[in-house]
Structure formats: structure tokens, C-alpha cells
Copies of this chain bind each other. A is one copy, B any other.
Amino acid sequence: MTKAPPVLAPMLRKLMKWSALPPEDQCAVLDLPFSTRSVRRGNCIMREGDEPDHCSLLISGFAYRHKTVGDGGRQILAVHMPADIVDLQNALLRTSDHSVQALSDATIADIPRDAVRQLAFERPRVGQALWYETLVDGSLQREWTANLGRRSARARTSHLLCEIGLRLEQAGLGHRQRYELPMTQEELADALGLTSVHVNRTLRALSRDGLTQRQRNSVSIADWDRLALEGDFSPDYLHFQDQQSSVEAPL
């Protein structure tokens, strides 16, 4: 369906981290049917209550999952980067329980859910890798929950900056201490369970204290160790240690 680097190659690379796949399994992944689409910054990739017949892979750009609560507030649940399968749950669950929206202009590959399901069960090794994805996703969600529930604004913010840096680095998309993150303070606030005003003050304070700097969309972390300490960040929950080629991301 495509030429040199196949569109689904990033997905395959990601799955291979969890278990080595024989060539025929690799081909099966790359040969999955899909259709791509472009989404502009701010637009929805999937909406809560939808009953999508496909799983979406983020090819380029950033996105986030979120829920809207009764009083109109929005809670961002996760931030996604290229190669993330943003809604693997659609493979089995009928109704989407949250929305996914683009943080930047993005490209999506939609893979029919039946194809994903079939792949998972005809090729157990691929299925296992997909299950891994789901489980690690759950681990991130648990840490996010703890972050919101039991840390101060300053710690929450530090933690988020560390997490995103490390994930980007791990995905080969940048350096943990210097990366581009297309999120406004308003969006950061919704991710952190704070108001944009308070995020502003918190970022300002981190900057004043020589921990980070931020201008436009770029984040640079001046003192990783101190930021990790302040953010109570320890990367175990990312489960890098479960990966095959533990390239390792020593803290």
C-alpha cells in the first residue's frame, strides 16, 4: 500500500520493543490495512461516545486524551507522541469513553478494528506486544492519577516535564532535557488539574529557581536531577526495563 519507509513502521518498531517478532509477524503488522488522514491542531481525532470501527495510530504530531466533566472542566488524561496507538481500546470496546484531540497538526493512520483483533489472535507474539502496550498505558495512567491526587502543583508540573522528556527520548524524538512540546499553559493546566494562571506561576517559579526554561513550545530542563527530585519522578512506571533491547534510560 506504500513505498519505502512503510507508514506503519513506527508502530512495528514500538511493538518490537516488547518482544522480538519473526519476519512473517513483522510483515503482517506492516501489511495491516489502513487509511491516513490529517488533523489540524485542536481538532478531534475521536470523540467520547463515538463507536469507531478503527484503531488510530499517531504518525506525526502530538495529541492528547481527555474527558469533559459536568461543570465544563476538562481533564487531560495522557499526552501522545508519534508511534503511539492512541486508542487501542477500540479494538475491543464498542463505545469510546474519552476523546482524543490533536495538540499540533497531526497525521493519523486508521486501522480497522477487525484487522487489529484478527492480527492479535492469529499471531500470538503480536498479540502479546499489543497487550504490553495496553498494560504500559495503564501504568502511565496510574502514575498520572497519583500525580493529580497527591502531589503539589510544583511537583506535578515537574513530574510531567520529566515524563514527557523521557518518553520523547525513548521514542527517539528528542533529548529528555530539550524538546518541543506544543502545549499551551491552558492545556498544561488541564493535564495537571490546575488553572492556567497557576501553571503560569509554577512554571515561572521553576524557571526562576533555575530548573527549567520555556519559550514558545520548547522546553529545556537545566537541572534534570533536581527537577526529578522535586517532581518525585522515578521512571520505573514507564517499564523501560521490560523492553527487549534495554537501551536503558538511566535516571
Contacts and interface: CB of A to CB of B under 8 A. Distances in A.
Contact of A97 (B127, B131, B193, B236): B236
A92 to B, nearest CB: 6
A169 interface: no
For this complex, into which size category does the number of interface residues on chain A fall? Answer: 35 or more
Interface string A192-223: 11000000000000000000000000000000
A195 to B, nearest CB: 11
A136 to B, nearest CB: 7
Interface stretch (A24-32, A140-148, A174-182): A140-148
A142 B77 CA distance: 7
Contact of A69 (B88, B93, B146, B239): B146
Given A67-B143, A69-B151, A95-B236, A127 B138 contact: no
Interface string A119-154: 011001001100110111111011111101111000
Contacts of A239: 93-95, 97
A69 B117 CA distance: 37
B141 A138 contact: yes
A94 B237 CA distance: 11
A170 interface: no
Contacts of A75: 145-146, 149-150
A36 interface: no
Contact of A77 (B65, B137, B145): B145
A98 B70 CA distance: 30
A132 to B, nearest CB: 6
A41 interface: no
Interface in A47-104: 49, 65, 67, 69-71, 73-75, 77, 88-89, 91-95, 97-98
Contact of A131 (B131, B136, B150): B131
A155 interface: yes
A225 interface: no
A242 interface: yes
Contact of A193 (B89, B135, B136, B149): B149
A245 interface: no
Interface of A: 18, 49, 65, 67, 69-71, 73-75, 77, 88-89, 91-95, 97-98, 117, 120-121, 124, 127-128, 131-132, 134-139, 141-146, 148-151, 155, 192-193, 232, 236-237, 239, 241-242
